[in-house]
Amino acid sequence: MASKASEKVDLPGFFADLVRCETRLYNALNDRLRERHGIVTSQFEFLHYLRDHPGARVADLAAEFAVGIGATSKSIDRLERQGWVARQPNPSDRRSSLLALTADGLRLADAAERTFTERLAELIADTLQTSPMTAAAQTLSELRTVLERDQIGMPTG
């Protein structure tokens, strides 16, 4: 039996709008981050996460961003080669490493966050009023919580 929400909302249309908006915002942020800092959005997100979660593991990043561990590890390898991330031995599990930003990585994360936030505000400030944006943010947060709680859409490798 369909829920009341699905009877009132064109769910395929909602999904298409959600995905296309995300893609366009992501691409616009990619362009600005590449132009100003030489990084892309996915790199910014990893640096930002590691800044706020020192000692995270590759598996933690993979879980947070719903990306496979192999792809996450390769991305960390690239950040490490740039001198922005360092792997440190994990004293409680020799099979994994703890990740930390280097001083250069921290500076980059902070500078890129300012660029990211400014560009995102430019892209959505004139489009969304505060009340609908607050409602949309709360709705997406609730949906994400349920999807993560129920382990829906998590990569298998």
> Does residue 70 form part of some domain?
yes
Report the CATH number at residue 101: 1.10.10.10
Provide the residue range defining the domain that includes 37: 25-148
The pLDDT-based confidence of 3 (bands split at 50, 70, 90) is low
**CA 42, 43, 49: angle at the middle one, nearest 5?**
90
6: pLDDT strictly greater than 60: no
**Contact by Cβ (8 Å): 41, 115:** no
If one counts every other C-beta atom within 10 angstroms of the C-beta of residue 75, the result is: 20
Burial of residue 4, with CB atoms counted within 10 A of its CB: 0-12 exposed, 13-18 middle, 19 or more buried: exposed
> Does residue 6 form part of some domain?
no
Closest to 109 measured CA to CA, from 65, 31, 28, 54: 54
pLDDT tens for each residue of 102-143 = 999 999 999 999 999 999 988 887 676 666 767 777 877 888
> Does residue 110 form part of some domain?
yes
pLDDT tens for each residue of 38-61 = 999 999 999 999 999 999 999 999
> Does residue 78 form part of some domain?
yes
> Does residue 138 form part of some domain?
yes
DSSP state of 86: E
The pLDDT-based confidence of 1 (bands split at 50, 70, 90) is very low
Specify the pLDDT at position 5.
55
> Does residue 18 form part of some domain?
no
User: Which residue type does 24 have?
Assistant: R
Instruction: Specify the number of domains making up the chain.
Output: 1
